[in-house]
A and B are shown apart, each in its own frame.
Chain A
Amino acid sequence: MGTATAPAAPAKAARKPATMAQALNRALHDSLAADPTVHVLGEDVGTLGGVFRITDGLAAAFGPERVTDTPLAEAGILGTAVGMAMYGLRPVVEMQFDAFGYPALEQLISHVAKMRNRTRGTMPMPITVRIPYGGGIGGVEHHSDSSEAYYLHTPGLQVVTPATVADAYGLLRASIASDDPVIFLEPKRLYWGKADWSPDEPETVPPLGRAVVRRPGRSATLITYGPSVPVCLEAAEAATAEGWDLEVVDLRSLMPFDDETVCASVRRTGRAVVVHESSGFAGTGAEIAARVMERCFHHLEAPVLRVTGFDIPYPPPMLERYHLPGVDRVLDAVARLQWED
């Protein structure tokens, strides 16, 4: 076993304002410090600290052997991560943007996701693939995709996405610690959102596969994740003016999926809307609506509705606000939940 020569993490800190980017950076730092098999790989993750600075300072702290600038080749990055994992390392791979993860899909689908199964459990793939995803930052083509459905449709992969600063830290640490591969989707437009946060509070490390009720309510449930969580919370506040008291469930982990929390909420409220940025057809919302229908049919007062991106290629920046589910589109869906007045 290699010696853990990493610098000690800073002493326990009190709560103070921190961004999601800082929390992710700290999670990587702490994972590198805690486990010498953890290696960070990707384009520009070393000296530059990544284009979003999520790996800022890590190469300086842990050296280029553990925080490595790779050649510009995503299939190569993930394919070699598979080999490194076979050797006993725990690679944390960064794909620079959502759409740039696609060259690595063959490695992901045919090897990362299946290796445990093919080797009858002898060769797990403790790989975390970090991917900044989603829109709302005015990015040029290929910089705003929400690709979760592709990953969700691949048995063997876990798919995780934080919506808060504390979850960003906790979920990333849990993902890196997981012995199965995790697609860790970072909502890039929430990177710079601030919250009071301390990494040393144990409740900041939720286990994978647990949703959370972000806002309790009685009238209907908004089921959402990642970049759409703040949108739904805002919609819930606005809805009070109409007399609706909306509950907001943040899934956090799309696979494994927390049926229990989702169904408990829907059984309570009797109405549900699923909200996400990615396209609706054969999207995450379809799976969620089906699961809710199968499990909560007799509690439902209305069909489960979806508010999603349209089934179109991601539009150019000046038009993305029409494509992304916003507060008004969420409220519009809530209004169609067959209220008797």
Chain B
Amino acid sequence: MSVKSTAARSSRGGAKRRGGAGAQPPLVQLLTPEGERVEHREYSIDLTPEELRGLYRDMVLTRRFDAEAVTLQRQGELGLWASLLGQEAAQIGSGRATRADDYVFPTYREHGVAWTRGVDPLNLLGMFRGVNNGGWDPNENNFQLYTIVIGSQTLHAAGYAMGIAKDGADSAVIAYFGDGASSQGDVAEAFTFAAVYNAPVVFFCQNNQWAISEPTEKQSRVPIYQRAAGFGFPGVRVDGNDVLAVLAVTRAALERARTGGGPMLVEAFTYRMGAHTTSDDASRYRLDDERVAWEAKDPILRLKAYLTKQGVADEAYYAEVDAESDTMAKRVREGVRSMPDPDPMSIFENVYADGHSLVDEERAAFAEYQASFEDHQEGAAR
């Protein structure tokens, strides 16, 4: 059997320079990077001054919380953190588009969405501190636990939406996933099921340009939103750093789903400003000038420019939000440091409903074993 020559070589792993040159398809934008309000033929939004200020506050608090978590990781209080820096508009805009009765299926980076759902930021840190595998009750805020296994939650979202449809309820579901996740079979299957059952689910892809070290071109040869067409539902690309556009597009998509229109794919075009996680070193695979170029499109600065120009907010308001974020950060910091260590016996809980013979036997043996150390100061097993 003959084998193709493998002589082709390149000095680095083949990452090409990207961004800028290649013609990008149009995206929905309502606020330019300079903070100018523009109109779109299909999507519009009309917010009260209070709502506008609210979006600003959400984004600033979210960013501050995220920065605090990064610091806590550096200080050894967290084992890991996945920063959302740069994706505040994509998350706040879409999260604020949901209704209380809608259901949200996040990845591990949706700290801003969690905020809009009313999840206590402190609870997000349990998993990253290592005290639990997800520190909140999903049904309390209709916000599922973070899902680390890439793409798998999109199927759960489709199924949840199928449940809503069977029930005749008028709620909708939103499933978050990344550009990298768009390659997973699970995501393609979620699209298929949602389309076939006309399920009320919005697939919300945050294309932050990177999946750890792999740029989006390694996942797709077409813009991700265009994939929806092949499954038989609409797809749209929105400026993911424009909170107004994200809010408008996601609201419309959720409303469409609630009223029997079926699934829709929203691709929020944004950028992961930080490393993949605190364990990652982005300098190994991408140039900093790309990040610098995206700084000019910062979601918070652009909304702030707009608010100031419109006279909707002033320095006093910004100072107030800053003070509030200081207070929140302090609460988070102190909260993490005083988080109780989990009880070793808890590892045997909720494996099954109560009364499982094997787990009960192991629990009893472990308790006896732990008790045998009580004479020793250390107490714990080596």
Contacts and interface: CB of A to CB of B under 8 A. Distances in A.
Contact of A326 (B5, B134, B344, B381): B381
B185 A103 contact: yes
A88 B1 contact: yes
Interface residues of A, number: 60
A15 interface: no
A100 B369 contact: no
Interface string B255-283: 00000000000000000000000011000
A46 B3 contact: no
B371 interface: no
Nearest to B348: A312
Contact of A141 (B148, B212, B372): B148
A237 interface: no
Main secondary structure of the interface of A (DSSP, over half): loop
A255 to B, nearest CB: 25
Contact of B14 (A46, A49, A87, A312): A46
Given A99-B149, A312-B347, A326-B381, A63 B4 contact: no
Given A43-B212, A138-B79, A318-B342, A2 B128 contact: no
B80 interface: yes
A69 B11 CA distance: 15
Given A316-B130, A318-B130, A72 B184 contact: yes
Contacts of B183: 71-73, 76
Interface string A305-331: 000001111011111011100111100
A63 B131 contact: no
B351 A312 contact: yes
Chain B interface residue bracket vs A: 35 or more
B148 A142 contact: yes
Nearest to B134: A141
A72 B79 contact: no
B71 interface: no
Contacts of A1: 2-3
Contacts of B15: 46-47
A312 B9 contact: no
Given A64-B13, A99-B149, A281-B358, A47 B7 contact: no
A70 B362 CA distance: 42
A1 B133 CA distance: 50
B218 A141 contact: no
Interface in A2-35: 2-3, 5
A322 B10 contact: no
B348 A73 contact: no
Given A1-B3, A36-B6, A311-B358, A72 B180 contact: yes
A326 B382 contact: yes
A88 B2 contact: yes
B6 A319 contact: no
Contact of A72 (B14, B133, B219, B369): B219
Interface string A29-54: 00000001101000110111101000
B292 interface: no
A300 B184 CA distance: 51
Nearest to B108: A140
B366 interface: yes
Contacts of B128: 140
B214 A318 contact: no
A67 B373 CA distance: 51
Interface in A49-85: 49, 51, 59-60, 62-67, 69-73, 75-76
B348 A322 contact: no
A65 B382 contact: no
B52 interface: no
Most buried by A among B134, B186, B348, B381: B381
Contacts of B347: 310, 312, 315, 319, 322-323
A311 B382 contact: no
Interface in B94-149: 127-134, 148-149
B211 interface: yes
B185 A49 contact: no
Given A65-B6, A138-B130, A75 B185 contact: yes
A319 B344 contact: yes
B218 to A, nearest CB: 6
B348 A46 contact: no
Given A89-B3, A328-B381, A140 B14 contact: no
Contacts of A49: 284
21 contacts: A5-B9, A36-B6, A43-B214, A48-B213, A59-B12, A59-B14, A63-B6, A64-B10, A64-B13, A69-B214, A72-B180, A103-B186, A140-B130, A143-B148, A311-B359, A312-B347, A312-B348, A316-B130, A318-B130, A322-B344, A322-B347
Given A46-B14, A142-B148, 15 more contacts: A47-B12, A47-B213, A59-B12, A64-B13, A69-B213, A71-B183, A72-B214, A75-B185, A76-B185, A140-B79, A140-B148, A316-B342, A328-B373, A328-B381, A329-B381
Interface of B: 1-15, 79-80, 127-134, 148-151, 180-181, 183-186, 211-214, 218-219, 279-280, 284-285, 341-342, 344, 346-348, 351, 358-359, 362, 366, 369, 372-373, 380-382
Closest 8 CB pairs of A and B: A317-B130, A47-B13, A46-B13, A64-B14, A48-B213, A59-B13, A71-B183, A88-B1
Interface of A: 1-3, 5, 36-37, 39, 43-44, 46-49, 51, 59-60, 62-67, 69-73, 75-76, 87-89, 99-100, 102-103, 138-143, 281, 310-313, 315-319, 321-323, 326-329, 332
